[in-house]
Structure 1
Amino acid sequence: MKTHGSMIQLAAPRWSLHALWLTVLLVFVLGPAHGQSSALAECTQTLYRGDYGTTVQLAEKHLRQYPKDVPVRILLARAELAQGKLREAFEELQRALAFDRRNIDALYYLSLVSREFSQREYQRLVALAPDSARVHQLLGEAALAVGDVTEAEGEFQKALEANPHFAEVATELAEMKRSQSKFDEAISYYLDAERSGALNYDIAYGLGACYTYKQEYPQAIEWLRKAVDLAPDSAAGRFALGNALFQDGQLKAAIPELNAALRLEPRMKQGYFLLGRAYSKLGRQEEAKAAIKKLDELNRAEVPGREKGSRDDALGKPERNDRR
């Protein structure tokens, strides 16, 4: 019994030492989490009490030790925002997103801050130049955003009266007219924009799309080649050029453009359909079957709705000829 008692006495310190190390480990692992949850609770309470100064102090103290604590950093930004400190709130939200770029709360409050910045700058712009081309452009874009096309056109026209060489506004008017299928008016505005500023993808593509709808394919091809040169990685541009070449009977030239579009956007059903037609017309039946097979696969797998990334601008008009 004496020997057994000695063994118990020897074992006890070992168990005590094990328990001590376990306690230390738990403190090491759970300590930061407890500190973070405690700081989050304190910051939340002071924020909802309207004590924004204390929220800022608590959050900044905590973040010096735990800079990656995104929820507390967002609370800090909200406290800054509540005090009208937009710049500070913006910077804190940017830091939060650097640690968690998909954080919904950070993105939401960043959008609020950005909107407030935008409103303040707009008010400054109106105060400085109430009848300027830029003010009328912004008013036109706002009207267009809510679907008031008549008001939007009126504001864009006022912008052009203030600055007849305003390429951006001429392009916006052209896009609006194209969406209304008023292709001649759209072409006129696009050409005005091209004369007023450097040619860009939107202008070249828009002109190509308008001429395609008008079945004036040589002009369409000319502008769409320029669009592809300006943006070679645009699936829409490549497809529009391939479509115009196909409609013009240039089947061999159309195929590389359609294949390029499909490499950039593999789910573009119109591309496979047109590619299959081109191969079929050239007598390349195996390649035609492969393209149509891919189209069938996409149709079977398709979720209801328009496929992502597709664009119909260059479609909708019948083929001019069915020639090879």
Structure 2
Amino acid sequence: MERSPRRLQLYTVFACISHSDSELRVFQMRQFRILSLFLPCLLILARLQAQSVVTESAQSTSDRASSDGASPEFSRSRQLIQQGKYDEAISELQRMSSSQPGMKGLSHELGVAYYKKADYPRAIDLLTQALREDSADREATQLLGLSYYLSGKPGEAIPRLEKVQGWLPRANVDASYILGQCYVQTQDYPLARQAFAKMFDLPPDSAASYLLTARMLFRQEFEPVAREYAEKAIALDPKLPLAHFLLG
């Protein structure tokens, strides 16, 4: 059966671990230090990819042309957002709010502008209002979830980001990583493991998934649970050297 690209990434790390050939086990021990560094590199790569979502996820909104069904009056404010002139865009939208109270889509546009400005509390208020006006606004749902996450409110972020994850046709590294971090911060470790496993298209109850989650937890100093997950990885696959390395 053909493996997905993400599965192949981890396959290069884990494929040899369960092999029974003695020569291969000797090779594993010689390459132990290299392997112990390889997995963290994958996780760092995923983290860097995830960081891009907080700046790119609003881009499709601000890049939309006025011909997509939205009011053409927003073209000027969107252009200002694209140029990084967030205060000017907000002032433009506020003038429109004063002259045309209740204008359709205005809460959405202001929410995007405040999100891009990194004023997440204000973005939360406006994106929440945008969803009251249009509950099917997917962009507002995603940005609201990210605004809660970036405001240090993972519990509020989770239901919004779960919706976003459900819309994706296949695993998305960015969405899975951020959602997994929210689960970790709310101490829902089984769901965190599922989210991290989805990053690399792994079975959530596999030794590799437990090891991935253990590594994430150790990095964030959740040591008791991290040790438990590393021990579980060893129980599922005693020949997993990276798990032994994590436990010391």
TM-score, normalised by the number of residues in structure 1? 0.40
Q: Which whole-Å deviations, capped at 9, do the CAs of 1:62-90 have from their partners, x for residues lacking one?
A: xxxxxxxxxxxxxxxxxxxxxxxxxxxxx
* 2:187 alignment partner AA: G
Distance 2:242 2:114 in 1: 38
**Contact kept in structure 2, 1:205 and 1:237, CA below 8 Å:** no
The structure, 1 or 2, with the larger RCO (C-alpha pairs under 8 Å, 6+ apart) is 2
Q: Which residue of 2 aligns with 1:240?
A: 178
- Output the amino acid matched with 1:176: A
1:296-311 alignment runs, 5 A limit: none
1:257 paired residue among 182, 195, 211:
195
Q: Which structure has the larger Rg over C-alpha atoms?
A: 1
Moved over 4 A (4+): 272-275, 286-291
Work out the number of aligned pairs and report it: 156
Structure 2: runs of 5+ lacking an equivalent: 1-64, 203-210, 235-240
- Aligned-residue offset at 1:198: 3.0
Shift of the 253–143 alpha-carbon distance from structure 1 to 2, 3 Å rule, reads: same
CA shift, 1:136, in A, is: 2.8
What's the offset of the Cα at 1:196? 1.3
Q: For the structure 1 residues 232 and 185, does the alpha-carbon distance in structure 2 shift closer, same or farther, using more than 3 Å as the test? A: farther
**2:75 counterpart of 1:146:** no
Alpha-carbon spacing, 1:180–1:273, altered in 2? closer, same or farther (3 Å): farther
RMSD of the alignment, in Å?
3.5
Tell me which residue corresponds to 1:207.
Answer: 144
Matching residue's letter, 1:146:
Q
Deviations 1:180-199 (Å, cap 9, x if unpaired)? 33221000111111011133
Q: Which amino acid aligns with 2:104?
A: F
**Deviations for 1:259-287, whole angstroms, at most 9, x for unmatched residues?**
213349xxxxxxx9766224873423275
Question: Counterpart of 1:198 in structure 2: which amino acid?
Answer: S
Change (3 A) 1:164 1:261: farther
Q: TM-score, normalised by structure 2?
A: 0.51
Structure-2 change in CA distance of 1:226 and 1:277 (3 Å): same
Alpha-carbon separation, structure 2, partners of 1:256 and 1:245: 10
Residue equivalent to 1:187? 124
Alignment-mate amino acid for residue 230 of structure 2: Q
Kindly, what percent of the aligned residue pairs are identical?
Answer: 17
Structure 1 Cα separation of the partners of residues 128 and 180 of structure 2: 23
Residue number in structure 1 paired with 2:92? 155
